[in-house]
């Protein structure tokens, strides 16, 4: 086209497209849900803008917030159209080709290792999945701030953008025209599309319409001499009927009618727009919750979320919420944890989608949860910035945290593996046991670090979070155990909870600090994650027990009358050591009963950095 401007795809995007177009991935169906999801996002955006300015919606059909799917069998074109926010020329260039999203290279890597395209939506590059089924795509788009443009590409490294002077004006929104590949003919079948929308796009909050064919039978009167001609024109079956037949000589002429089967087209609604969170939790099935999770998280790995909580908060601040623990942590959960805003809850106000970048709903450490909040109390017609300041947000956040921690606690309580030998008699075996077995260990492996970060960051929930903590100990036999279990097993004479920090359990097991404690039958917690050092600076006590790092000063293990005698006997030697080591930054030299076979050991002072902390600070692992 003469007015087309040509562009090259950003290198990573180009690579991604190459992989997609050459992919042998069999589940090509996923492209439809990605395009519908984009249409839905675009509709959410315009509906949000309309809250403060009704005029943005326009008039007539343009104001209808819906998604339309149309087929052109002859030309092998499948088009998906929305009346969402649309894209300006600049948007088309940036969003569909020149600016790579942060997830692009991560996804390319993942694709190359697993070949699984199913998670494409989670990486923010879902649009390109359309090249699984099309070899040429046109994106026609009209944004309120610009004239209509066409973006087009054959996925050959280049794309073009032109001012649209030939298509029908869209009013506002976007039409994605897929020129289907020969082998993608199945997507020209209405039944296939209906099936896909049902399966993948059940929870889209806008009507999805298909321009669907329908056979209708009509009875039409025919002139006698016409009837033969008609028969050849219409392939459908016809029956001729004679009505009111009379003699040729009679006054009435022979009246002939025929039944004609015709194919007519009309919009057929494919989804019933239902907001699962507005229904009573009792009425929603497990399968529906799972499917809703998939659509919410764009995680279509078919895995079930580990847990969910659906509730209705009443009182001064009213809202409904559904929270999920995902089956797996996302690839970048702890990446630049302190510098990024990660929000995974979608905020709605009275069913209108407001934002999914609203990070005031949950604290950072819970950002691994997915879900949705629909508030009745927040005002609808204010900006995002004003919402952020609204007083009821604090209450919402507090309740969400409480519910989230409850949900995680239940996950542990329901896990039969979490019940230790000494409690076993209280628990009855149930059929659910097998499914719940090991679920908390799984949770811990995926999200344990978040719980630790929570203990560091959230003083008001520290105790609740500490209950969720799991670790290995000198007695846990390779399994995870909890503080409650540890305390139950504590020896009578033991006042503090003992722990030791280091880089691995194997290394710690050989530590001279443990020799005597183990001999005497004490249990010591192993903390081997770099974050544990920080954790223990915040976790001072639990259920009125203090924590004692066994490599630090202050370790008390029962009474030992011999120490006093020994102190006396070695008084001079101790003094000599202390003086000789004064220049080596050694604060003190003491007689102690903490060792068994090792003659001496370097201990850190109570408020000093442990040796492990020194190691961490040197390598800056956090």
Contact 71, 211 (CB under 8 A): yes
Spatial separation of the C-alpha atoms in residues 558 and 493, rounded to whole Å: 6
Contact 477, 528 (CB under 8 A): no
Contact call for residue 126 and ligand ADP (CB under 6 A): yes
Nearer to Mg ion, 126 or 305 (CB): 126
Does 111 participate in binding ligand ADP (rule CB under 6 A)? no
Which CB sits closer to Mg ion, 129 or 450?
129
**Listed ranges 121-129, 201-209, 366-374, 524-532: which one lies at the site for ligand ADP (CB under 6 A):** 121-129
Residue 34 counted as an annotated binding residue: yes
According to DSSP, the β-strands at 497-501 and 370-375 are unpaired
Residue 109 Cβ vs ligand ADP, minimum distance, rounded to whole Å: 17
Does position 82 interact with ligand ADP (CB under 6 A)? The reply is yes
Q: By CB under 6 A, name the one of 14, 62, 95, 503 that touches ligand ADP.
A: 95
Q: Is 101 annotated as a binding residue?
A: yes
CA dist 147 and 162 (Å) reads 11
**Nearer to Mg ion by C-beta: 40 or 501?**
40
Counting other chains too, the contacts that 593-596 makes at CB distance below 8 Å and 24 or more residues apart are 593/516, 593/557, 593/560, 593/562, 593/563, 594/513, 594/516, 594/517, 594/550, 594/555, 594/557, 595/512, 595/515, 595/516, 596/515, 596/516, 596/519
Contact partner, 39, from Mg ion, ligand ADP, none, Cβ < 5-8 Å per class: ligand ADP
Does the protein bind ligand ADP through residue 44 (CB under 6 A)?
Answer: no
Please give the Cα distance from 30 to 568 (Å, whole number).
79
For residue 84, state whether it binds Mg ion (rule: CB under 5 A): no
Q: Give 126 or 326: the residue with its C-beta nearer to ligand ADP.
A: 126
- Quote the CA–CA distance of 366 and 406 in Å, as a whole number: 13
Number of residues interacting with Mg ion: please give it, by CB under 5 A.
2
From 37-45, 51-59, 307-315, 567-575, span contacting ligand ADP (CB under 6 A): 37-45
In the bound state with Mg ion, the residue whose beta carbon lies nearer, of 86 and 126, is: 126
The DSSP result for 470-506, as a single string, is -BEETTSTTS-B-HHHHHHH--TT--SEEEEE-S-HH
H or E segment to which residue 5 belongs:
strand 5-8
Exactly one of 9, 19, 38, 120 binds Mg ion (CB under 5 A); that residue is 38
- Our CB check for Mg ion shows the closer of 82 and 533 to be 82
Q: Using CB under 6 A, pick the residue from 30, 31, 38, 202 that binds ligand ADP.
A: 38
CB of 114 to ligand ADP, least distance (A): 19
174 binds, among ligand ADP, Mg ion, none (CB under 5 to 8 A by kind): ligand ADP
Helix (H) or strand (E) holding 111: helix 103-114
Output the smallest distance, CB 84 to ligand ADP, in A. Answer: 5
Exposure of 565 in the CB half-sphere (CA atoms within 13 A): 3
- Structure-token pair, residue 69: 């799917």
Q: What are 78's strand-pairing partners?
A: 71, 178
The H or E element containing residue 464 is: helix 462-467
CA 562: distance to chain centroid? 60
- Residue 96 contact, options Mg ion, ligand ADP, none, Cβ 5-8 Å cut-off depending on partner type: ligand ADP
Q: Tell which one of 126, 305, 327, 530 touches Mg ion (CB under 5 A).
A: 126
Q: Is 124 in the site for ligand ADP (CB under 6 A)?
A: yes
Locus of tokens 């691995």: 504
- The partner in contact with residue 512, picked from ligand ADP, Mg ion, none with C-beta cut-offs of 5 to 8 angstroms by kind, is none
Query: Of residues 17, 30, 66, 84, which one binds ligand ADP by CB under 6 A?
Result: 84
Return the number of the residue (124 or 171) whose C-beta is nearest ligand ADP.
124
344 is annotated as contributing to ligand binding: no
Contact 284, 278 (CB under 8 A): no
312 is in an annotated binding site: no
Run of H or E including 196: helix 190-200
Distance CA 361, CA 184 (A): 43
Site for ligand ADP in 467-526 (CB under 6 A): none
Pick between residue 39 and residue 322 the one whose CB is nearest to ligand ADP. Answer: 39
**Residue 174 binds to ligand ADP (criterion: CB under 6 A):** yes
Helix, strand, coil percentages for the chain (3-state, nearest 5)? 40, 20, 40
129: contact with Mg ion by CB under 5 A: no
Q: What is the dihedral of CA 610, 613, 615, 620, to 10 degrees?
A: -170
End-to-end CA distance of the chain: 54
Site for ligand ADP (CB under 6 A): which residue of 117, 125, 412, 451?
125
Shortest-Cβ-distance residue relative to Mg ion:
126
Residue 33 CB, nearest distance to Mg ion (Å)?
Answer: 9
Q: Binding site, residues?
A: 34, 38, 82, 87, 95, 101-103, 122-127, 174, 384
Q: Binding site for ATP, residues?
A: 34, 38, 82, 87, 95, 101-103, 122-127, 174, 384
Residues that bind Mg ion (CB under 5 A): 38, 126
Residues that bind ligand ADP (CB under 6 A): 34, 38-39, 41-42, 82, 84-87, 95-96, 124-127, 174
């Amino acid at each position: 086209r003469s007015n087309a401007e040509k562009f090259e795809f950003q290198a990573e995007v180009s690579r991604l497209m190459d992989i997609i177009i050459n992919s042998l991935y069999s589940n090509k169906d996923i492209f439809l849900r990605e395009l519908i999801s984009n249409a839905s996002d675009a509709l959410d955006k315009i509906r949000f803008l309309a809250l403060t300015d009704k005029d943005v919606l326009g008039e007539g059909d343009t104001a209808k917030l819906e998604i339309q799917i149309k087929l052109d069998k002859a030309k092998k074109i499948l088009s998906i159209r929305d009346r969402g926010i649309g894209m300006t020329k600049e948007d088309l260039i940036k969003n569909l080709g020149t600016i790579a999203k942060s997830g692009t290279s991560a996804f390319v890597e993942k694709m190359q290792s697993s070949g699984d395209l199913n998670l494409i939506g989670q990486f923010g590059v879902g649009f390109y999945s359309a090249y699984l089924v099309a070899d040429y795509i046109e994106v026609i788009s009209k944004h309120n701030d610009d004239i209509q443009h066409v973006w087009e590409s054959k996925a050959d490294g280049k794309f073009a953008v032109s001012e649209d002077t030939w298509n029908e004006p869209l009013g506002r929104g976007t039409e994605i025209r897929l020129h289907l590949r020969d082998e993608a003919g199945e997507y020209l079948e209405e039944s296939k599309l209906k099936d896909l929308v049902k399966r993948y796009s059940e929870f889209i909050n806008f009507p999805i319409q298909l321009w669907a064919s329908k056979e209708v039978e009509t009875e039409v009167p025919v002139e006698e001499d016409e009837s033969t001609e008609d028969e050849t024109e219409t392939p459908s079956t016809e029956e001729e009927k004679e009505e009111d037949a009379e003699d040729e000589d009679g006054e009435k002429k022979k009246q002939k009618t025929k039944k004609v089967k015709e194919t007519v087209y009309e919009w057929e609604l494919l989804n019933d727009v239902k907001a699962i969170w507005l229904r009573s939790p009792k009425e929603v099935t497990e399968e529906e919750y799972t499917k809703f999770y998939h659509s919410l998280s764009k995680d279509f790995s078919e895995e079930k979320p580990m847990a969910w909580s659906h509730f209705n908060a009443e009182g001064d601040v009213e809202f409904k919420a559904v929270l999920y623990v995902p089956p797996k942590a996302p690839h970048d959960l702890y990446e630049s944890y302190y510098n990024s805003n990660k929000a995974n809850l979608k905020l709605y106000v009275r069913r209108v989608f407001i934002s999914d970048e609203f990070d005031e709903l949950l604290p950072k450490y819970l950002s691994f949860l997915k879900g949705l909040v629909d508030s009745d109390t927040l005002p609808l017609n204010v900006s995002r910035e004003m919402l952020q300041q609204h007083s009821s947000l604090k209450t919402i956040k507090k309740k969400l945290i409480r519910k989230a921690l409850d949900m995680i606690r239940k996950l542990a309580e329901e896990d039969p593996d979490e019940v230790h030998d000494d409690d076993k008699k209280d628990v009855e075996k149930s059929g659910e046991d097998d499914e719940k077995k090991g679920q908390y260990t799984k949770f811990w492996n995926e999200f344990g670090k978040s719980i630790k970060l929570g203990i560091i960051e959230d003083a008001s929930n520290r105790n609740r979070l500490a209950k969720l903590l799991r670790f290995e100990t000198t007695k846990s036999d390779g399994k995870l155990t909890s503080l409650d279990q540890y305390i139950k097993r504590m020896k009578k004479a033991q006042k503090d909870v003992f722990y030791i920090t280091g880089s691995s359990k194997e290394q710690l097991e050989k530590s001279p600090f443990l020799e005597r404690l183990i001999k005497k039958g004490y249990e010591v917690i192993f903390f081997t994650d770099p974050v544990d050092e920080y954790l223990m600076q915040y976790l001072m006590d639990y259920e009125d027990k203090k924590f004692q790092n066994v490599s630090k000063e202050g370790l008390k293990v029962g009474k030992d009358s011999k120490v006093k005698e020994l102190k006396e006997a070695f008084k001079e030697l101790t003094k000599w050591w202390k003086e000789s080591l004064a220049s080596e930054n050694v604060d003190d030299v003491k007689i102690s009963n903490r060792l068994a076979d090792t003659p001496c050991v370097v201990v850190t002072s109570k408020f000093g950095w442990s040796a492990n902390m020194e190691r961490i600070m040197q390598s800056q692992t956090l």
